[in-house]
Amino acid sequence: MLELRELSCGYGAMRVVHGLSLSVGAGEIVALIGANGAGKTSTIRAIAGHIPPQAGSIVYQGADIGRWDPIRRVKAGIALAPEGRRLFKSLTVRENLVVGGYTRAKSGEAANIERVLALFPRLKERFDQPAGGLSGGEQQMVAIGRALMAEPKLLLIDEVSLGLMPKNVDICYEAIVRLKAEGLTIVLVEQNTERALAVADQVCVLESGRRVWHGPAAQARGNEELLGAYLGMH
């Protein structure tokens, strides 16, 4: 589904991700984990087309998409729930969702909204309220829902649990598991390593923009040395 080949990216002349290779199979959940500033967000932004590769390539369903603009990537099935949610705060939940589907046929809009509300029933109560008045957890649900409105095949979620109450983290992760069961491929960025490891198939650990470990999540779950060295869990 997605392959990063020696991807380097950053901001202007500054390089923050160095030669990252990663292969994401269809239907997998891959977790990018690592400390603050490790380059997780930059990696996900490069996949979504918000920053260009400085070197290497991004191959999606066989095509090198590294120079595609973000909208072309959305149309091809890549959608991002970004760091900080970035909702249109004065627009209602419904309007935010509608915006997320702007690349898709209007005829599918109602069904897509139903799908989001089935995934996050809490949003039904908030449907006609401005998104800016919602709790952090509800806003994350809207952000994920807005990305789903684009009918993605590859869903990118940045900082799934950051700043959320544990109950809302549960809701978001239950949704992620359901979306995987529906066949979506998901790349998520997470600072809460235990949460990510619990749902991921594969884990990629970044440190200072370099991949320092990657492999099956099951292996990471049992590898205390790895967790201790890179993630500070033990």
* DSSP 8-state symbol, 159: S
Nearer to ligand ATP, 11 or 127 (CB): 11
Site for ligand ATP in 41-80 (CB under 6 A): 41-42
Cβ neighbours of 14 (radius 10 Å):
7
Which one of the spans 31-39, 142-150, 179-187, 221-229 is the region binding ligand ATP (CB under 6 A)?
Answer: 31-39
Which one of the spans 37-45, 74-82, 91-99, 128-136 is the region binding ligand ATP (CB under 6 A)?
Answer: 37-45
Which token pair is 196?
């990510």
CA distance 68 to 138: 31
The amino acid present at 159, given as its one-letter code, is E
Nearer to ligand ATP, 16 or 220 (CB): 16
Are β-strands 78-81 and 154-157 bridged in parallel, bridged antiparallel, or unpaired? parallel
Which one of the spans 29-37, 57-65, 113-121, 224-232 is the region binding ligand ATP (CB under 6 A)?
Answer: 29-37
Task: Give me the least distance between CB of 16 and ligand ATP, in Å please.
Answer: 4
Nearer to ligand ATP, 70 or 133 (CB): 70
Closest by Cα among 181, 109, 121, 122 to 148:
109
Helix (H/G/I), strand (E/B), else coil: 148 = helix
Binding residues (CB under 6 A) for ligand ATP: these are 11, 16, 34, 36-42
